[in-house]
Structure formats: C-alpha cells, structure tokens
C-alpha cells in the first residue's frame, strides 16, 4: 500500500520478487507537478504494485515526471511505459551510455566475454544470459526519452528546489536528490541501511570503489535530517551510516589483499569465492548465478582500487586475468 510520509511525500513499496534486495522504495513528491523517484523492474509484479499504489495516491498521471537515481533496471525498468506525453524522465547524464548499453544484446555479449577472462566459465555465462534481471528487466532504449542531468542541476517540485548531487560509485552517473529546505536526501542506492550498496567494476571507469568512497564523503557534508533510501524499510543517520559503509569497505579491502597475498595467481572469480558474503549459502558453489555475477563485480571493484594504489597487480595468463601482490603499501 502507498504510505503517506508527509503532506507532499509518498512511499510506494514495490516488490522485487526473488531478488535479495527484496523491494524498491519509489517516492512520489506531489504538487502542481509531481515527481516519481525510481520505478521498479520491467516485470509484471512491479508493474501491478506501481499502478495500484499510484492510483491510491490520486496523482495526476498527466502531470507526473520521473526521476531515475541511476540506470539499474530496478530503478528505470518501468519508466518508458509509465511516462505520459508531455512529461519527462530524468537521469544522470553519465548513466545514459550505460542505460543504452543495458538494452543492447551486443553490449551484454561483450561484458560476458570479459567475465570469462575474470574467471567465469562459458557455461555459467550462457546460463546467465536471459536470467540476469539487469539484462532482462531493463527498459528498451528509446531515443529522446531521457532528459540527462549534470551534477548540480536543479529541479523544482513541491514548491522547493531539488539539487542533483552526482554520487558515482554504485553506477558512474548515480544522482542523489537533495532538498536543502526540507533537509531531505533521496539517496537511491548510494546509501542503504541494513544492506550495503553493491559497488562493481564499470567499463571506462578506472576505480569505482575509490569514486564511491569520495561520493560518501561528499554526501556526508550535506545537511540532511531525513534519508530516503531506495531499498528496504530501514533508514537512519547519514553520518553514522557513512562511517559504517566506509569501515565495511576498508575491511573488505583488507580481506581482498589477504586473499591475494596468501594465494597468488587467482582470478577475480576465485577471489570472490574466498571473500566473506552475507548471503545465506553454504558455499560459493551454491551461490545463485546472478549473485555470483554481482559478487565478482564487487571483488573486481576492490581489486581495481588496490591495483590503482599499487597494492596488487594484474596479469593475463592463459586467457585469464589473475592477481598478485604489488609493492605499494597504502590502502
């Protein structure tokens, strides 16, 4: 059911069936024009929940724009079908190429070939094809549909100014939406509670974890009393959570470094298999394939961070990228 959080603000609870994220929080700012923040997967359960809850709010759909915090399909999937003529779909400008890529089978073929270099088997990649919601529940690409927003862009809804805050890391162009007057921060997947945002390697990005940690420092400076994360019901204090997330990645970097030091010559896939994960599975072999895909992506982001700082080095041996300890000593 749509939950009214304030006079001008609703939370729509969109289920993400079979996904460990469990749900997506869509937020609806109402006023002269309304703004829907994030949409859910292009899948029937999301579509039904969204349509039902939008109707409960009584929003005028012909005056409702959509803001996607980032390109992931659980945030953008339904945007093309929810939007009415004359309304706009906003997304961070640096996420537009990735959004176009997510709708392109050739882009996925390229990405999956890369993942074989990083240790996945060809069979796993074949199996993942058609099963990965990042691929199957993404919106079809529509030229001219999106209004690309740069860092610092301002939107006006509910009679107040909303500022776009570029927070790369989770995706290259992730935007938080900050309302300084109401001291609200719609944080997308940049800051989550109870679960930690997935940070993975992106094509064309050298160090997405380094970018993410910088983005955390940036948002920690904001004067925000209310945080609206995109997943789970929990919310909390921005600075406390920032410190926890930074500590989490520092531990994970140590963990990655230890694994590389103890067993030189492993692929990112094998390193991910030795890392500690909170998912409830008996062993790495039992991980659902889509979760392996995200786990290896996360391991690669940590390896990239360490590689940029000289702590590990990467070589290609017999068609696989493998890691060795480097000479640097700074994390």
C-alpha 128/C-alpha 290 separation (Å) is: 7
Cβ 294 to Zn ion, closest distance in Å?
10
Cβ 84 to Zn ion, closest distance in Å?
25
Please, what is the end-to-end C-alpha distance for the chain in angstroms? 45
- Angle formed at CA 303 by CA 307 and CA 325, multiple of 5 degrees: 60
Cβ 23 to Zn ion, closest distance in Å?
13
Residue at shortest CB range from Zn ion: 72
C-alpha 62/C-alpha 45 separation (Å) is: 23
Cβ 151 to Zn ion, closest distance in Å?
18
Backbone angles phi, psi at 76, to 5 degrees: -115, -15
C-alpha 122/C-alpha 126 separation (Å) is: 6
Backbone angles phi, psi at 179, to 5 degrees: -110, 95
C-alpha 272/C-alpha 277 separation (Å) is: 9
Tokens of 107: 């882009």
Select from 128-136, 148-156, 181-189, 252-260 the region that touches Zn ion (CB under 5 A): 181-189
Cβ 82 to Zn ion, closest distance in Å?
18
Residue 74 or 207 having the CB closest to Zn ion: 74
Find residue 226's DSSP bridge partners: 184
Residue 43 or 267 having the CB closest to Zn ion: 43
Residue 10 or 294 having the CB closest to Zn ion: 294
Residue 134 or 260 having the CB closest to Zn ion: 134
Cβ 70 to Zn ion, closest distance in Å?
6
- The edge-to-edge listing of strands for the beta sheet with 23-29 is 3-6, 9-15, 23-29, 34-37, 64-68, 89-92, 146-149
Residue 65 or 189 having the CB closest to Zn ion: 189
**Contact flag: residue 95 with Zn ion (CB under 5 A):** no
Contacting residue, 189, 298, 304, 307, with Zn ion by CB under 5 A: 189
The contact mask relative to Zn ion for 133-172 (x = CB under 5 A, - = no) is ----------------------------------------
C-alpha 323/C-alpha 21 separation (Å) is: 30
Residue 72 or 302 having the CB closest to Zn ion: 72
Cβ 198 to Zn ion, closest distance in Å?
7
CA distances from 292 to 70, 120, 175, 229 (A): 22, 9, 26, 24
**Contact flag: residue 270 with Zn ion (CB under 5 A):** no
**Contact flag: residue 72 with Zn ion (CB under 5 A):** yes
Select from 38-46, 65-73, 204-212, 302-310 the region that touches Zn ion (CB under 5 A): 65-73
Residue 195 or 325 having the CB closest to Zn ion: 195
Judged by the rule CB under 5 A, the positions of this chain that interact with Zn ion are 72, 189
């Amino acid at each position: 059911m749509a939950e009214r959080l304030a006079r001008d603000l609703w939370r729509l609870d969109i289920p993400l069936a079979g996904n460990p994220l469990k749900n997506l929080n869509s937020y609806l700012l109402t006023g002269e024009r309304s703004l829907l923040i994030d949409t859910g997967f292009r899948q029937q359960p999301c579509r039904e929940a969204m349509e039902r809850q939008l109707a409960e709010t009584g929003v005028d759909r012909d005056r409702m724009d959509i803001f996607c915090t980032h390109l992931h399909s659980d945030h953008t999937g339904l945007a093309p079908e929810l939007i009415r003529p004359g309304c706009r779909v906003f997304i961070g400008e640096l996420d537009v190429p990735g959004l176009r890529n997510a709708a392109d089978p050739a882009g996925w073929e390229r990405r999956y070939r890369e993942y074989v270099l990083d240790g996945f088997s060809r069979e796993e990649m074949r199996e993942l094809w058609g099963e990965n919601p990042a691929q199957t529940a993404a919106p079809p690409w529509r030229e001219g549909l999106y209004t690309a927003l740069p860092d610092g862009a301002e939107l006006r809804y509910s009679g107040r100014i909303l500022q776009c805050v570029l927070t790369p890391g989770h995706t290259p162009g992730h935007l938080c939406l900050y309302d300084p007057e109401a001291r609200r921060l719609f944080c997308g997947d940049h800051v989550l509670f109870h679960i930690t945002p997935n940070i993975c390697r992106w094509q064309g990005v050298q160090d997405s974890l380094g970018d993410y940690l910088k983005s955390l420092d940036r948002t920690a400076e904001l004067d925000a009393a209310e945080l609206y994360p995109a997943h789970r019901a929990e919310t909390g204090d921005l600075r406390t959570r920032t410190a926890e997330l930074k500590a989490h990645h520092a531990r994970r970097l140590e963990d990655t470094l230890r694994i590389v030091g103890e067993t030189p010559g492993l692929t990112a896939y094998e390193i991910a298999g030795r890392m500690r994960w909170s998912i409830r599975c008996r062993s790495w072999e039992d991980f659902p394939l889509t979760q392996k895909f995200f786990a290896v992506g996360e391991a690669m982001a940590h390896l990239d961070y360490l590689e940029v700082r000289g702590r590990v080095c990467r070589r290609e041996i017999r068609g696989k990228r493998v890691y060795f300890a480097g000479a640097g000593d700074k994390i």
